[in-house]
Amino acid sequence: MSQFVLAVDDLVKHFVAKRSAFGRSLATVKAVDGVSFTLRPGETLALVGESGCGKSTVGRLVMRLIEPTAGRIVLDGEDVTALGETAFRPFRRKVQLIFQDPFASLNPRMTVGEILSEPLMLHDIVPARERRRRVGELLQMVGLQPSHAARYPHEFSGGQRQRIVIARALAVEPRIVICDEPVSALDVSIRAQILNLLKELQARLGLAYVFISHDLSVVKHIADRIAVMYLGRIVETGRADEVFATPRHPYTRALLSAIPVASPEARRERRILEGDVPSPLDPPPGCHLHTRCPYAAEICQTQRPALDDDGAGHATACHFWPTLPEQRDILPAEGKIDPRLERLFGAFAGTEA
Amino acid sequence: MAVDSPMQRAWRRLKRRKGAMIGLGVIVVMILVALFAPLIAPYDPTAQSWSAVRKPPSATYWLGTDEVGRDLLSRIIYGARASLSAGVISVGIAISIGVPLGLVAGYAGGLIDGVISRITDAMLACPFLILAIALAAFLGPSLTNAMIAIGVTATPIFIRLTRGQVLSVKAEDYVEAARAVGNPHWRIAWRHILPNVMPQLLVQATLTIATAIIAEASLSFLGLGQQPPAPSWGSMLNAAQRFLVNAPWMAVWPGLAIFVTVLSFNLLGDGLRDALDPRAR
């Protein structure tokens, strides 16, 4: 069991969207609707999907910042689903969170030193005398100076702030870090730096990441495994290279074909879904995608497809995945980038810390 | 390298506002006058003199005298003690009751919030001054009771303000982050939410001091505040109303003192509001 640092089993979260005058719920949003996944030590699992598909909710459920409606969360071999706020507190040393917006996730009235020493104090990780030194180490670990501890968050840039957020997450020496869109609020030029920092820290500290993102080009860069979510359910999961090379679910194919590529001449097949995402208040029955899927048949409207594993860890929730036409070249092969763009990338690569 | 805390930045912005700095200057002078009243006042504020009844302003009595020959300047100077302490102490009472209740209501939510908020609504439904008069009359006329009455009456303002601010700060990512690193609830409320609510509370406190000074003057005017012969601006106005035609200076000076003090607090409060506004750079 403990080969996994995190195992999530059939996790469900319903939000009440409308209440009657007496507080009874009239309508619920099934933000997370039976999500299961596992995470091995040192591994990166990417949760991808468009806005509102429930990927951030999964992150917050694992962090126990919100209470699950049903399902099980097993953290490092221990079932933590039923633990209350106080009983769960020691487990916060094992799993930490990196937020999307580095301008909102640091308390503006605390110095960086106070922000970083707080978790050290709360979990009694280093004695009070050594906290200053440890804060300095943490700052150096994320590429900042120990002298920055005396400053306030507003004195830093977005990229630097995100480094501080990462340092705070690492202060408790966690095994799992949930990265909730950690680079999507940052300038493109900074993204690579932060992603490389995350990778480097993972290699050094053996961290496991749950990497939540809607940006597939970022995911491709960092993920070992991928879970694609659509309207609260995982529709496809597998090794990242495999999912990128041979996507099986129609939704994954559409998602991958939407990645912009830096080679205008490349030939690629486009899979564009018709229509909008249905309202999560009233998702379609059966397979959630059937309203937009070009391959939909009758069974899709009534029966929810199971996440069907091919035996090699690549699972797809589609009734017809074995019979769908094989699809390659959704992403053009590497190395066909315009030489001018390559020089531009080179310029940014030089600035990476 | 200078450390630039959010409060220091706000102070820099406040210094650029003329109105606020004038207000602050007047308030500081008023406080000094109140503190050193015995050294500054030319006469004993309660000493009567039958040879100098209702004298207009002159070289001897700069602001004139009242109906029993007391020096108005000395009474204004001593009256500053009653007015300022009534303003500050009653707001202190309101804050020390209102802020914790608002913090609990906003942070805990649910039934606790429902109970606290409904009581607050009920109190706010009564006009401020009427409630203060009723309470003061119930407690009995004295300056201390007037302060308590004003303080209790001003409490719901602080409950509601704190609760609203807590609700908005509670939704910030850094509060979620504080929970994620393992802060207990009391520490989140105390260390992460309250400091971020303080600026708005400071603005409200400054403005409420102005209201409280008027309320004290009103209560004293009605005989429910400072008791004679001790001076207060409100009771001086009360005494003056019978002599408005013959000795208008008796009403003008305490009225002016109230006006200037209240205006100063309002100017400072407005300036603080602008200086502490996070959107202003």
Buried b (16+ CB within 10 A) or exposed e, A280-315: beebeebbbbbbbbeebeeebeeeebebeeeeeebb
Select from A65, A101, A108 the Cβ nearest to the Cβ of B6. A108
Q: Is residue A165 part of a domain?
A: yes
Q: Tell me what pLDDT residue B1 has.
A: 43
Kindly state whether B111 is in contact with chain A, defined as any CB-CB distance less than 8 angstroms. Answer: no
Nearest to A99 by CA among A39, A177, A206: A177
CA distance B105 to B66: 50
Q: Tell me what pLDDT residue A353 has.
A: 40
- Write the CA distances from A135 to A121, B173, B177, integer angstroms: 11, 22, 18
At residue B66 the predicted structure's pLDDT band, cuts being 50, 70 and 90, is confident
Select from A118, A154, A155 the Cβ nearest to the Cβ of B181. A118
Q: Which CATH number characterizes residue A144's domain?
A: 3.40.50.300
Q: Is residue A211 part of a domain?
A: yes
Q: Is residue A337 part of a domain?
A: no
| Minimum distance, in Å, between the CA of residue B175 and any CA atom of chain A | 8
**CATH code 3.30.930.10 for B16-30+71-276:** no
* Cα end-to-end distance, chain A, whole Å: 38
How many of the other CB atoms lie within 10 Å of CB of A259? 16
> Alpha carbon B2 to chain centroid distance?
34
User: Domains of chain B: which residue ranges?
Assistant: 16-30+71-276
Q: Is residue A105 part of a domain?
A: yes
Radius of gyration of chain A (CA): 22
CA distance B260 to B63: 16
Query: Is B196's CB within 8 Å of A107's CB?
Result: yes
Tokens at B82, concatenated: 């009653």
SS3 B207: helix
Tokens at A22, concatenated: 């007496």
> Residue B118: pLDDT above 90?
yes
Summarised one tens digit per residue, pLDDT across range A187-234 is 888 898 999 999 999 999 999 999 999 888 889 889 999 999 999 899
Which residues from A are below 8 Å from B182, CB to CB? 89-90, 92-93, 119, 122-123, 172
Q: What is the mean pLDDT of residues B185-210?
A: 92
Q: Tell me what pLDDT residue B46 has.
A: 87
Tokens at B49, concatenated: 């003199």
Give A32's strand partners: A13
Domain ranges, residue A188: 41-64+83-228
Q: Tell me what pLDDT residue A1 has.
A: 45
Summarised one tens digit per residue, pLDDT across range A81-134 is 888 889 999 999 999 999 999 989 999 989 999 999 999 999 999 999 999 999
Q: Give me the interface pTM, i.e. the ipTM.
A: 0.83
Question: What is the β-pairing status of strands A225-230 and A6-19?
Answer: unpaired
How many of the other CB atoms lie within 10 Å of CB of A133? 11
Q: Is residue A13 part of a domain?
A: no
Handedness of CA B177, A166, A238, A6 (dihedral sign): negative
Select from B1, B180, B185 the Cβ nearest to the Cβ of A92. B180
> Alpha carbon B38 to chain centroid distance?
23
CA distance B268 to B264: 6
Select from A96, A99, A119 the Cβ nearest to the Cβ of B173. A99
Q: What is the pTM of this model?
A: 0.84
Q: Is A33 exposed, middle or buried (0-12, 13-18, 19+ CB in 10 A)?
A: buried
Q: What is the count of structural domains for chain A?
A: 1
Find out whether A219 and A48 touch, Cβ atoms under 8 Å: yes
Tokens at A114, concatenated: 């106070």
Kindly state whether B176 is in contact with chain A, defined as any CB-CB distance less than 8 angstroms. Answer: yes
Q: Is residue A91 part of a domain?
A: yes
Pick among B181, B188, B276 to test the A interface (most A CBs inside 10 A) = B181
Q: What is the mean pLDDT of residues B112-136?
A: 93
Of all residues in chain B, the one with the smallest CA distance to A115 is B178
Tokens 């990476």 correspond to A352
Q: Is residue A8 part of a domain?
A: no
> Residue B52: pLDDT above 90?
no
Nearest to A228 by CA among A55, A47, A30, A54: A47
The lowest-confidence range among A182-191, A331-340, B81-90 is A331-340
